[in-house]
Structure 1
Amino acid sequence: MPINPEENKKDTSFISEKIKQRPINRKKLLRRTIITISLAVVFGIVACLTFLVLQPVFNDTLYPENSPEKISFPEETVNDELSPEEMFANDNAIAASEAMSLEEDEKNKIDEALASYSFSQSDYGKLMSSLKLVADEVGRSVVTVTSVTSDANWINDSYESSGSASGIIVADNGTNLYILAPSSAASDAKSIRVTFCDNSTADATLNLMDTVTNQCVIVVKKADLDEHTTKSITTAALGSSNSGNLTGLPVIAVGSPMGIKDSICYGIITSDKAPLNLVDSSYKLITTDISGSSSGSGVLVNLSGEVVGIIDMTYCPTDIPNHISAIGISEMKTLIENLSNATNRPYLGIHGTTVPIDFQHDKNVPAGAYITQIEMSSPAMHAGLQSGDIIVRIGDYAVNSYEQFASRLAQCEPNDIITVTVMRQSPNDYIEIQMEVTLKSSTHN
């Protein structure tokens, strides 16, 4: 019998389904939200720290930079310099040859013209203007170094004090600017700020400080300077303070010779060969007739704009306390190289002078570096060196003068153990004594 499909359908009208949402657990939701946020914060911190740690490595790998070039200056050679006698002879020869080529009437006309010409104030103005142009060009390499330090007054209120002095840009290796300045402008500084000739400023870091001359070299990254400043500044031209006799030659004091920023003074050199009584060195003092400030700083330059001395009023003669004095640049070039390259300088701890030739011949005193004074607690004192000893050899190198001693010592390094041979006076004659000395350092950063 056929089945009727309609009869097979079951009645499902009694089934009723209603979907209900699970109730929200607010505490659980809040807890999960807090955990998610906390994990996100922790991940962000870890990611930031990882980036900061690895970023220099990635930069060095992807963008390698060449190591900064070491700073060096050409070695001065006496043969390249003309003595005053040679210059005078050359001038006479040139004048004679020119005179022979002139007709008699032409010479008379020249003599009459020179005799009839009178110099006026306009000529003087032109002369001073030309000197000002030299000073302005040098001023592009002069900077003001300002140190900021934290301190407290007598009622324990904290404050910041600052001191400043003029410095000079002595080198540029393409990456950094190296600036020579008095140590007082950088010692114990919380921060060091450099102001350039266009009044722009940049932060600097101390490279190395010399305790003998109280000079230091600070470094400014060129990447911190804008294009205008980079084009405005220049590196100073270091001349020579040993080229013949500088006494009587005109010089310009640039920087802060009057204790005021960007002050300029003109004058002549009154002496240039006086030795400075500084430990382990043979620096020379340059004096001038320029009246300045006891706190003056900056440089002395010749009429070609070359630096011949670093102004340091510490060594002014007591009877002319306010006349500008400077340390000769020739003996300082090695120091500037060492401070720029962060090369520590050796310290022995003696003061001395060269034994005069007449003493060598007349009194049979050995040639060498005569010790006039020993620094307290110095390597020289610990080794047994005494005032009156004459240093005749360092290691295998003969020493015939105090300048040779200073030059040879500068080639050593701190912590080197050197053998110093001295001649010490006995009741009858000089006896030779050898001593081993462990050098210390005269620089720090």
Structure 2
Amino acid sequence: MSRKKEHTRPVPAGPRPTGPKAAQVRLPAAGAVAVAAALALTGCSSGGSSSSASSPAPTASSSGSPSGSGIKPASSAPAQSGNQLQDAYQKVIADVLPSVVQITTGDSLGSGIVYDDKGDIVTNAHVVGTATTFTVTLANSTTSLAASLVASYPDSDLAVIRLSSPPSGLKPAVFGDSGKVELGQITLAMGSPLGLSSSVTQGIVSATGRTVSEPRGGGSPGATIGNMVQTSAAINPGNSGGALVNLNSQVIGINTLAATEPEANGAAAPGIGFAIPASTITSIADQLIKQGKVTNSGRAALGITARTGFNQQFQPAGAVIVAVSPGGAAASAGLQAGDVITRIGDTQVDSLNALTTTLAALTPGSKVTVTYTRDGASKTADVTLGTLETP
């Protein structure tokens, strides 16, 4: 059976990994990594615990266990608790799945999330690539709808497309508060993995605040994205652009990357996926819809142009400043072209990629100490970070 192409690309996750086996990350679909739906336990744990606590103490069974023998019949509480969790899953799926769509771009498949009732759909920039027209299929529907590009912002790997004729009853997703995402919360990933539309997988929030660098190619410029949510919910090719949801039926992220094992010929590393957080999604999507471009990236910057510097052994040894933007953060702190940045705060910088990754984890207005060399001498400067300018 033939199937449309779903891109998968290896990429290093976060700062340069150390240790014997550094995991890599892939973009699970040329236009598609399903957003995992994070389901917070707060929606069901209280019901399960109260049910168990209120169960009356069991007595001797009529089948012959003598009173006082210490043998008690099994409590039904675990089954009740399991049913409550299952009911919570099913409610979230019923609430959110109608807001998750499949996007077809040429011969590639991806996923997206209905953003408003005007037909705007948010997805990954690497899903849309260079295309400007798309075919969209709503959940539980076989009708193909035409859509066109509103705008794309590859630096944050986000894009918005718009349905040409939005149907009645279009259901926008509800986006959650990224600041309330915590480790251990249940997540559901919804999207079209391998072209299987309206698919759902489950897991938990494994970590927050991850900084991950994407691979270049296939519509991605190799963006470095900070504050990503790591989840154990399965993320497969075709899931890109889909929803990561919590148990309150709120989208907490757009699933974008999945880990691969570099020593296993790029085979998937199960249970390690990454989603762009809801706060980034709403900030960028609102700007793309209202202005057609991003004017406030929300990303920290030094206000420099730089390249990787090498030592006499031809090993990466820092980020060389090529040019300093007048009035920018670096210029205000006295940094100059030719300076070689070797550390930001306590984080070593041995390349341009390391500098970009470090800055992606910081926020505009943060104060950091920059260590650099000038004419062979090591110096430091206290810098108040600016905002990354957009074209």
TM-score (norm 1): 0.50
Q: Distance in 1 between matches of 2:322 and 2:342?
A: 16
Specify the alignment match of 1:387 in structure 2. 341
Task: Using the aligned pairs only, state the percent identity.
Answer: 17
Instruction: Return closer, same or farther for 1:302/1:311 CA change in 2, 3 Å cut-off.
Output: same
Q: Provide the secondary structure at the position in 2 that maps to 1:136.
A: helix
Partner residue of 2:108? 163
Counterpart code for 2:204: I
Ranges in structure 1 where 5+ consecutive residues have no aligned partner: 1-86, 99-107, 149-161, 353-371, 392-400, 410-419
Change (3 A) 1:314 1:340: farther
Aligned equivalents of 1:348, 1:305: Cα separation in 2: 26
Matched, 1:343 2:293: yes
Q: How many residues align?
A: 279
SS in 2 for 1:276: strand
1:327 paired with 2:272, answer no
Q: Secondary structure at the match of 1:388?
A: strand
Instruction: Note if 1:203 corresponds to 2:146.
Output: yes
Instruction: Give the aligned residue type for 1:305.
Output: S
State whether structure 2 residue 207 is matched by structure 1 residue 271.
yes
Whether 2:243 is the aligned partner of 1:287: answer no
Q: Matched residues in 1 for 2:387 and 2:185: separation? A: 43
C-alpha displacement of 1:266: 1.4
Is residue 257–residue 265 contact of structure 1 (8 Å, CA) maintained in 2?
Answer: no
Contact 1:281 1:406 in 2 (8 A): no
Q: Look up the match of 1:159.
A: none
Letter in 2 for 1:321: A
Give the deviation of 1:256 after TM superposition.
Answer: 2.3
Which AA in structure 2 matches 1:165? G
- Please say if residues 167 and 179 of structure 1, whose CA atoms lie closer than 8 Å, have aligned partners that are also in contact: yes
Cα deviation digits, residues 144-167 of structure 1 (max 9, x gap)? 11123xxxxxxxxxxxxx222110
Q: Which has the higher contact order (CA 8 A, sep 6+)?
A: 2
Asked if residue 193 in structure 1 is aligned to residue 135 in structure 2, the reply is: yes
User: Where in structure 2 are the equivalents of 1:219-234 lying within 5 Å?
Assistant: 219-221=162-164, 224-225=165-166, 229-231=167-169, 233-234=170-171
Residues 348 and 378, structure 1, Cα contact 8 Å, conserved in 2: no
Does 2:182 match 1:239?
no
> Structure 1 residue 192: deviation in Å?
1.2
Q: Report which of the two structures shows the higher radius of gyration computed on alpha carbons.
A: 1
Partners in 2 of 1:210 and 1:331 — Cα distance? 12
Q: Structure 1, residues 274-320: CA drift from partner, whole Å, max 9, x if none? A: 22358997622222223342443311100011011110125668686
Query: What residue in structure 2 maps to residue 216 of structure 1?
Result: 159
Structure 1 residue 214, shift from structure 2 partner = 2.6
Letter of the 2:119 counterpart? L
Unaligned segments of structure 2, at least 5 residues:
1-41, 60-71, 215-221, 303-317, 346-357
Structure 1 residues 386 and 189, CA gap change in structure 2 (3 angstroms): same
Query: In structure 2, how many angstroms separate the alpha carbons of the residues matched to 1:250 and 1:348?
Result: 28
Aligned-residue Cα RMSD (Å) equals 4.8
Which residue does 2:196 correspond to in 1? Answer: 260
Q: What do the CA deviations read for 1:174-202 (whole angstroms, capped 9, x no partner)?
A: xx321111234423336312222333332
Q: Does 1:307 align with 2:261?
A: no
Check whether the contact 1:255–1:262 (CA below 8 A) recurs between aligned residues.
yes
Q: 1:80 aligns to what? A: none
**Which structure features the higher share of helix residues?**
1
2:101 touches 2:136 (CA, 8 Å); kept in 1? yes
2:76: which partner in 1?
Answer: 118
Q: 1:209 to 1:316 in 2, by over 3 A?
A: farther
Label 1:127 to 1:429 Cα distance change in 2 as closer, same or farther (>3 A): closer
Residue 249 (1) aligns with residue 203 (2):
no
The code of the aligned residue for 1:209 comes to S
The answer as to whether partners of 1:283 and 1:332 remain within 8 angstroms in 2 is: no
Contact 2:341 2:370 in 1 (8 A): no
Correspondences of 1:50-199 after superposition (within 5 Å):
112=57, 117-119=75-77, 124-125=82-83, 127-148=85-106, 162-172=107-117, 176-189=118-131, 191-197=133-139, 198-199=141-142
**Distance in 1 (alpha carbons) for counterparts of 2:321 and 2:199:** 38
